[in-house]
Amino acid sequence: MGTILWQRGVGLLRNSRMFLLMLLLPLLFTFAFSNMGTASKISIPLYDEEGSLLSQKAVSYLNRSSSYQFVPVSLEKLKLEVAEGRAEAGIIIPKGFSEEMASGNVEIQMVKSKDSTIIPSLQGVIQASLIKMHTEQAGVRAILRSLTQLGLDANRPQVTTRVEELLAERRKETLPVSTAGKTAEGSKAFRYDPKLQSSLGFMLFFVIYSIIFSLSEMLNDRRQGIWDRLLISPLRKREIYLGNFLYSFMVGYGQLLILLGASRLLFGVNWGEGWGPILFLLAIYTVTIAAFGMLLSGFVKNTQQLNAVVPIFAVSFAMLGGAFWPLEVVTSPWLITVAKGIPLYYPMSAIKEILLNQQGWNVVWLPTAVLLLMAVLFMGIGVHLFERKGVE
């Protein structure tokens, strides 16, 4: 078996272009798709007339909006963009903003075009952002007053910054209110992270090519007569199969590990702190795809036929299994049923459940059982067909 692994490893080093391409493409697609959401924000020019620390903080609060991007510009440019129709509206943070914020009566000036349709929505975003900012700032001031009454030096900027950080951390830990939405038809609301969806989906999609193409070496061996020579060598047949299977697993799992690290470094994809369930599921998925590759290798006669059918299955798996878009938006019951017969569906669903809904090993076992059952069936049928092709 070691001989098989050594031979395949040397072959991979000599011809590594396909492997490198399968590493590059998921990253490119992740970059393109994960940035589609941010590109759809409406740009609103903003002029900060006061220019204080508090007014700059107000800009950061406004930019937490998922619908609008507030871009600081000069007053002349703001008026010009609105007048020429390049922006539907612009806002001005006036002088005296800090005093007004302390009193709780803030007035933000707005410059808008005559036919603008976003004004009600924009006013709502500004109002909500400033109310949130005023509430949080009032909390910080109350804490600082309490510290001063206790005789502590709370007037230093570092103390204010630290209090703000602690309050922000506290709010994340114990949100006072949680909400959940349902559509009129009663379907459950779901959480969606475009970076996670794109990164995980394309990772699971492109690794199919690497795994199955790595098994195509067996077809080349059979065509060139090397397979027959291996059969009469001291190697046992199960060692030959196991060596090829282990090689395809190492190629696929290695690719997944590299992409996990690269997506975290390049795109900031949050894979959570507990890596155990995710790595375990990816390993089981790799085994199942390798077994499916064995099944395809048993059906086809040569590598040309294999190269032709792999994209058909890979793209179908990705589309139906939820790699390209979340299956939560699919309303067809029969499409959901079909998805459950596809290996990619299980790691995709379970890993999103782990990361978006803070689940653990409890969501791993059922997908693992289904994937292993698929792997046994694929492998058994695939080896049987490959043996028959060898006899013919």
pLDDT in tens, 237-276: 888 888 888 989 999 999 999 988 888 888 877 777 778 8
pTM over 0.85: no
pLDDT of residue 377 exceeding 90, the answer is: yes
Q: Check residue 392 and give its pLDDT.
A: 54
109-112 and 89-93 beta bridge pairing = antiparallel
Mapping DSSP onto H, E and C, the string for 79-90 reads HHHHHCCCCCEE
The Cα–Cα gap between 156 and 148 comes to 11
345-364: b (≥16 Cβ within 10 Å) or e: bbbbbbbbbbbbeebeeebb
> How large is the average pLDDT for residues 63-87?
83
Q: Exposed (0-12), middle (13-18) or buried (19+): which is 78, by Cβ within 10 Å?
A: buried
Average pLDDT, the chain: 81
The Cα–Cα gap between 42 and 171 comes to 28
Task: Judge whether 42 and 118 are in contact, CB under 8 Å.
Answer: yes
Tell me the pLDDT band of 279, cut-offs 50, 70 and 90: very high
* CA distances in angstroms from 313 to 83, 218, 374, listed in the order given: 53, 20, 15
Strand partners, 109: 92
Q: Check residue 186 and give its pLDDT.
A: 46
The Cα–Cα gap between 390 and 362 comes to 43
